[in-house]
Chain A
Amino acid sequence: DADVTQTPRNRITKTGKRIMLECSQTKGHDRMYWYRQDPGLGLRLIYYSFDVKDINKGEISDGYSVSRQAQAKFSLSLESAIPNQTALYFCATSENSGANVLTFGAGSRLTVL
């Protein structure tokens, strides 16, 4: 099994629908992240969490929310999806050291029609 598992891998939805992307990890890491990838823009940070009680906004958090249900689980929600949220979403984890070597999931491709 993968160290970082994302579900679903692909999702097509309609404008206004609520969507949840889930992430679970077996690395035992406290730190978890959600990134968004758009062609030509690289990866941009949406939210990050350093432990179950610690949630922080990244650079593009508007329109998104997260839930850290346990050390191993970190979910990203789009309360009312819009077409410009069509993107590839990555969950990642890292150790507690400052070096932040990220381990990524395989990605969740979301299309909002």
Chain B
Amino acid sequence: AQSVTQPDIHITVSEGASLELRCNYSYGATPYLFWYVQSPGQGLQLLLKYFSGDTLVQGIKGFEAEFKRSQSSFNLRKPSVHWSDAAEYFCAVGARGSTLGRLYFGRGTQLTVWP
């Protein structure tokens, strides 16, 4: 069964600092991988996704993520955080080639940005 672990429940960074949010997954093969962001009172917005090819993927709002097969990880990074990045971030995996068509989500990482 697939599972997703986001080890950090809450991260606080200063504006302008770099950011890395961790995500580890459990799956027998290479899954589809996603990062979603949820701003307060909003639904979830797709930041980026990995399907195949280049293991470093670029997303919206200056975010990037790197797929590392050997570590079963898909960490999200941003070189310089802005106050507007304060939100909750969810990593998700989907089974490649599955007819079930569903995603499994991590528990989320809440990001606080200090001015």
Shortest distance between the CB of B37 and any CB in chain A (Å): 11
Chain A residues within an 8 Å CB radius of B99: 98
Asked whether any CB of chain B lies closer than 8 Å to the CB of A94, the reply is: yes
Chain B residues within an 8 Å CB radius of A40: 9, 107-108
Asked whether any CB of chain B lies closer than 8 Å to the CB of A31, the reply is: yes
Total B residues in contact with A, Cβ cutoff 8 Å: 28
Asked whether any CB of chain A lies closer than 8 Å to the CB of B83, the reply is: no
Tell me which residues from 1 to 52 in chain A have a Cβ below 8 Å from any Cβ of chain B. Answer: 4, 31, 33, 35, 40-45, 48, 50
Docked Cα-Cα span, A44 to B49, in Å, equals: 20
A sample of 6 more A-B contacts (CB under 8 A), given A98-B32, A98-B98, A100-B32, is A42-B106, A42-B108, A98-B96, A99-B49, A99-B51, A104-B36
Asked whether any CB of chain A lies closer than 8 Å to the CB of B74, the reply is: no
Which residue in chain B gives the minimum CB-CB distance to A90?
B43
Choose one: B46, B103, B107; the contact of A41 (CB below 8 Å): B107
Tell me which residues from 33 to 61 in chain B have a Cβ below 8 Å from any Cβ of chain A. Answer: 34, 36, 41-46, 49, 51
Whether B96 contacts A107 by the Cβ 8 Å rule is: no
Choose one: B43, B102, B105; the contact of A107 (CB below 8 Å): B43
Chain B residues within an 8 Å CB radius of A105: 43
Docked Cα-Cα span, A58 to B103, in Å, equals: 11
Whether B94 contacts A42 by the Cβ 8 Å rule is: no
The interface residues of chain B, by DSSP majority, are classed as loop
Whether B101 contacts A50 by the Cβ 8 Å rule is: yes
8 residue pairs of the A-B complex, CB under 8 angstroms, read: A40-B107, A42-B105, A98-B95, A98-B98, A98-B101, A100-B102, A101-B46, A104-B44
Asked whether any CB of chain A lies closer than 8 Å to the CB of B67, the reply is: no
Chain A residues within an 8 Å CB radius of B25: none
Whether B101 contacts A90 by the Cβ 8 Å rule is: no
Tell me which residues from 74 to 113 in chain A have a Cβ below 8 Å from any Cβ of chain B. Answer: 90, 92, 94, 98-107
Asked whether any CB of chain A lies closer than 8 Å to the CB of B97, the reply is: yes
Chain A residues within an 8 Å CB radius of B9: 40
Chain A residues within an 8 Å CB radius of B94: 98-100
Chain B residues within an 8 Å CB radius of A48: 101-102
